[in-house]
Amino acid sequence: MSLVEINFDGIVGPSHNYAGLSLGNIASASHKGDTSYPRAAALQGIAKIRSNMALGLAQGFLLPLPRPNGDLIRGLAIDENTPRQLLAAAWSASSMWTANAATVSPAPDTADGRCHLTPANLVTMPHRAQEWQDTQAQLAIAFGDEEHFTIHDAILPAFGDEGAANHMRFCEGHDAKGVEVFVWGNQGGKFPARQHEQASRAIARLHGLDPAKCVFIEQNPEAIKAGAFHNDVVSVANERVLFTHERAFADQQGAYEAIREAFPALEVVEVPESAVSLEEAIRTYLFNAQLLTLPSGEMALVVPSECQESATVWAWCESMLASNGPIRKVIPVDVRQSMANGGGPACLRLRVVADPATVDQRFMLDEAKAQRIEAVVAEMWPKTIDPQDIGSEALAVRVIEAREALLSVLSLDSLA
């Protein structure tokens, strides 16, 4: 069996809008009430996927969830007198950020030699707490081969879990046994800490991980206060490399030591506050990047184009490349529609180490399938959505028909 890292990107849904539902997500809050561009957003995401495929990387996708969510509307008895935010929650396209879909432990790390996936309960935010059952249904098809995969239920909602956005893995190669790092936050600050320590520890037990190969680290409360609502806004890992801001963790040096004790080959690429402030790193999403191993063995960092437009961030990237460190390429991509709602390249993908042949092939991307997805998006996705349009019956019909058209061309009508 040939294990490789597959990035599963979320296709941006036809109801993509800017309702500002995510407390602590500064980009989302700052664009609340703006007109969104669902068609452009989805096409930007597909262009990023194509770019990664062109680099020779294995690529999959996950589909938008059913919206508007009739179960949520009925369950909360939403009517014309209900606060608009609850109505907007039922329309949210936030499942596009598949870094929050699940936590994934590859087969080399687990006691039973299968890849384990636990959907995130996402209980901190109502617009996301509705997702996990529909996400699990999709994962159960994509990773339905029980010889190679195990899909769990979400963690008890008493403990918030936000999935792979707060999880990192270190290894000599993706197919080798790794060390899994879980980053959690303490409650009580200006913004909610979304990842509970006990959720992370429960997932490690559920997945049958070796306790000696697990590290649990507290996120820096200052980072959460500054808008790093997930660890992947201030840190990203790949194989031996941790790319991180100096202020990512509550005890920065202690975090490095704990990881290095479990994984001695650790290479840290730290961006100091003096070079790029925490606030500028969060504004540009320098760390919400895809850190990838190319077929050549070189590492590349796929960053939002906002990084290239920031003088301090881009100067640091250029100095990093000149230093001959482990990250050899920086590749900007345009995901502005996602960025305006608080999600960069890393938010848009779930990393799964697996043999592509064991995945349901309907979820693996090739050029022909990319063209079919693009054609449906170009024809069916709304060009614009104004927040005042949310709740419109005509828009609901259009959004539902657009998603069903996509499921049809991908032979996944069972998810309708």
Residues annotated as part of the active site: 162, 230, 347
Which of 247, 190, 241, 199 has its CA nearest to residue 219?
247
Retrieve residue 344's tokens. Answer: 């960069």
Would residue 20 be called left, alpha or beta, if left means φ above 0 and alpha means ψ between -120 and 50 degrees? Answer: left
Inter-CA distances, 275 with 22, 305, 372, Å: 29, 19, 44
CA distance 191 to 233: 15
**DSSP state, 13?**
P
- Is the peptide bond prior to 387 cis by the omega test (within 30 degrees of 0)? no
CA distance 177 to 366: 29
CA distance 281 to 287: 7
CA distance 288 to 278: 13
Residue with tokens 């800490």: 193
- Cβ within 8 Å of residue 74, ≥6 positions away: none
Cβ atoms < 10 Å from Cβ of 275: 17
CA distance 335 to 271: 23
Q: Cα 131 to chain center, whole Å?
A: 14
238 neighbors 287 (Cβ within 8 angstroms): no
In residues, how long is the chain?
416
Inter-CA distances, 407 with 63, 138, 230, 404, Å: 8, 12, 30, 5
